[in-house]
Amino acid sequence: MSISLILTHPGGAHKDELLACSLLAAVHGVPIERREPTQADLDDVAIAVVDVGGEHDPARNNFDHHQFPADHPPACALTLVLQHLGVYEDARKFCDWLEPAEWFDTRGPVSTAKWLGVDRDTLAKLNSPVDVTVLRRFAKARRLEPGNPIWELLRFIGEDLLDYLRNLRERLDFIAQHAELWDVGGTEVLFLPRTESMSEEPSAGLGRYLESIGKSASVAGLVYPDRRGSGYGLSRHNDSPLFDFTRIQEEHDVHFAHARGFVAKTSAAEQARLRELLAAARV
């Protein structure tokens, strides 16, 4: 459904409506206004009303959560827009920041800190001047048109988030089709072979893939095509102490091993040789 305007509340800005507006701006490329909605705005399906208006009705492009009961599971305006765009489930799986953002917006900093198992002061120490400036500039604007620097920044944020979610799902499907689990001295290693359709960042998504198949805790090493050469990268998974790649730094076909032992690069391309290097690096 096409929209002509994104409308959100005036006053202080928060991450949930900023990100929700960013997603809608990326999809529809329309202006954003910050003012109270009228009933005509809520009734107009061409106007997306975000985080205000007291109504959640995706069919009419109304995305407010403030009317939900106090015991409703944490769900903010961003939640509702992600659901509307059909990417919420992947966002919950692959965006570790999303659930804390939902809690923070609907439960506040004290309850969120308790839920995370930290004190409130720790949350404050994680504040970023990037967040502060973007939210402040967004809050000051009454209307943002395409071409305005803040509007363009919001569009970039929305585009990058959608690209990440859509491309990651495709990437995980690709890894599932091509990756193999190896046993190296009783230790599991994930191997991704070189293919013609190799990603620009071959190691991208490997950790998420292991999470998706329930292997994140048991796999200790990763082997994947080196994007800078014809060989492979070897690395620890989750910084497992079971591999120390300084142990293979003197091998003739190993051209780099990090001094802390967590990654190495080799010109070797044969699986048998890669297994030998892994066995030699096994602690």
What are the structural domain ranges in the chain? 5-167, 179-281
Dihedrals phi, psi of 153, to nearest 5 degrees: -65, -45
* pLDDT value at residue 1: 66
Beta-carbon contacts of 174 under 8 Å, excluding residues fewer than 6 positions away, are 197, 199
* Residues of the chain under the 50 pLDDT cut: none
pLDDT of res. 240: 97
Measured N-to-C along each axis, helices 15-28 and 77-84 cross at an angle, to the nearest 10 degrees, of 30
pLDDT of 172 reads: 92
pLDDT, residue 227, reads: 87
CB neighbour list of residue 50: distance below 8 Å, 6 or more residues apart: 6, 7, 8, 17, 20, 21, 24, 63, 64, 77, 81
Residue 38: CB atoms within 10 Å: 13
Q: What is the CATH number of domain 179-281?
A: 3.10.310
**Beta strand pairing call for 47-50 and 62-63:** parallel
Task: Tell me the pairing of strands 143-144 and 180-184.
Answer: unpaired
pLDDT at 104: 95
121-164 pLDDT, tens digit each? 998 898 899 999 999 999 999 999 999 999 999 999 999 999 99
